[in-house]
Structure 1
């Protein structure tokens, strides 16, 4: 039987590429999507379509309304403005406190129950918004915790967090996914979640820059692409 892998699937470009990698490596895929009170549900709908495309053995959507209740991020608090000036040196207000730590903890619980040995998450420390929970040091620390704080780790069968994109630029990620047939036309990256991506938020800018540098056309529609006439 193929090994099982939990893939944290947001419906965005990076997590979809991770799912393509897991599928290419022959894993049975168990997708996990978090509805954490983000401004829009478009990415959750995209995640459903991506999971179906890959024939995921199971796709669970987990409600995490607590992150919306505490706020602290423009992605969960509609009173805060989503920045559109491009990524800077500071951690932007789109950072959701503790998000990846919570996601990975719940993914590890799921992995233990179903007997999965790997968790895929699409973090990158190259072309990204500067979130501290996307850095290699964070992933290494959580892997250490899983080795000492889980039954699987105690049995010397630790669950490994896999981050195939962590040292890749956005263009390199897109080239990888394109080669593996990742269905980018089913994805969204926009923080605002409109029918057409805004083209102005940090996430849209990073995505468009990646496609441009990869020499590949982004298949999703935009309200405005940087460089377009007003």
Structure 2
């Protein structure tokens, strides 16, 4: 396939951040190819959210890729480990939380890189953030810089100098409030998104896990109502 500079891969989880990144990708003039990974997460509702968001932005090509990480374990999102609840922001920012999935962003970016090379695209968008989730090692700028270097030496397109792979992380140094403001400016309907680590069987957010707390607090600080449904 010939190179088209408008093509870009967007890692789309269905959450607040990745949905904002999809909108950002479109705003920058790219044609997004959305990639959602079924990695064995403990709930399917985020996959449904990714579908809603992709439809809302009329993404022409949205791949849902099954890649079950549950046999590895090691995370509250893929294993029988209790999801932390009711932690304050200081506790959330301390250390690497048990909701970290080992090497998840490395795996996801590798999949995005494979698809990018296959369709002759050199731009990959990811919704990582090192402000609210500073404990996650694969959400840091140095990780993304290292992955770009890897892409140049690990692909035919890179070795044969067909182009330079770029990892775009437009939210990486933004606060959650700034992300929400930017998303609203870009027309993101956050009622379509899902952020909870531990929803109930109906898919309703718990309101108490780290992700819910950070999201709800950000909307509150903006004086806005979070459109996501929460358990009473």
TM-score range, shorter chain: over 0.9
Structure 2: tracts of 5 or more residues without a match: none
Deviation at 1:134, TM superposition (A): 0.5
Q: Could you tell me which residue of structure 2 aligns to residue 81 of structure 1?
A: 82
Moved >4 Å (runs of 4+): none
2:217 aligned residue (184, 206, 209): 209
1:180 aligns with 2:186: yes
CA distance in 1, matches of 2:119, 2:162: 17
Asked if structure 2 preserves the Cα contact closer than 8 Å seen for 1:119 and 1:160, the reply is yes
Paired residue total = 222
Asked if structure 2 preserves the Cα contact closer than 8 Å seen for 1:16 and 1:187, the reply is yes
1:25 aligned residue (24, 28, 53): 28
1:169 aligned residue (170, 175, 190): 175
2:56 aligned residue (47, 53, 57): 53
User: Could you state the TM-score of these two structures normalised by the residue count of structure 1?
Assistant: 0.93
Alignment of 1:125-144 (within 5 A): 125-128=130-133, 130-144=135-149
Structure 1: tracts of 5 or more residues without a match: 225-230
1:91 aligns with 2:69: no
Alignment of 1:180-199 (within 5 A): 180-194=186-200, 195-199=203-207
Distance 1:129 1:37, change over 3 A: farther
SS in 2 for 1:172: helix
SS in 1 for 2:71: helix
CA distance in 2, matches of 1:107, 1:30: 10
Alignment of 1:37-52 (within 5 A): 37-52=40-55
Alignment of 1:95-134 (within 5 A): 95-128=100-133, 130-134=135-139
Root-mean-square deviation (Å): 1.3
Deviation at 1:2, TM superposition (A): 6.4
